[in-house]
Amino acid sequence: MRSDIFRNPNPLQFNITLPPKDAPKVPPGIRCPKTFLEVGKYLHYLLITEIGHGGDPYLATWKNRPTMFNKAYQAQFTAYAQGTYPFAVPLGPNQSPVDWWRAFENSDQGGILAVCAPFPCLKPGGC
């Protein structure tokens, strides 16, 4: 309290903002925690909306199992963000990114994320 910094505070200087004590927990291996949380929250919202109103047959199987869906989504999204199996598998020879994502469709390892893969117009019946 007797430090020089407290004697003549300058109102034009930067303030130090401390993060909240109970900050959201992010799994280890995530390079950009804030992006992970924001993108994960947004994709979860889109998927929940699709489950309730959409016509995707794979997501329709989760309609009456919200707790199981949340756990599966969190596991898949975390694996994708960490770059772990199955998302660590590189593209095969002559395999396009669309084919790589199609390999996950209707699977327990990446089926939820494959529904909202970055190439929806290239899927059969997309757009």
**CA-to-CA dists, residue 33 to 16, 54, 58, 90, 112, angstroms:** 20, 30, 29, 24, 21
Q: What is the mean pLDDT of the chain?
A: 82
Domain extents in the chain = 37-86+95-127
What pLDDT does residue 127 have? 43
- pTM beyond 0.85, yes or no: no
Contact 68, 75 (CB under 8 A): no
- For the segment 51-106, what is each residue's pLDDT rounded down to a tens digit? 988 778 888 899 999 999 999 999 999 999 999 999 888 988 998 888 888 888 88
Give the whole-number percent of the chain exceeding pLDDT 70. Answer: 77
**Residues 106-125: pLDDT tens digits?**
888 888 998 887 655 545 55
Burial 83-111 (b: 16+ CB within 10 A, else e): eeeebeeeeeeeeeeeebbbebeeeebbb
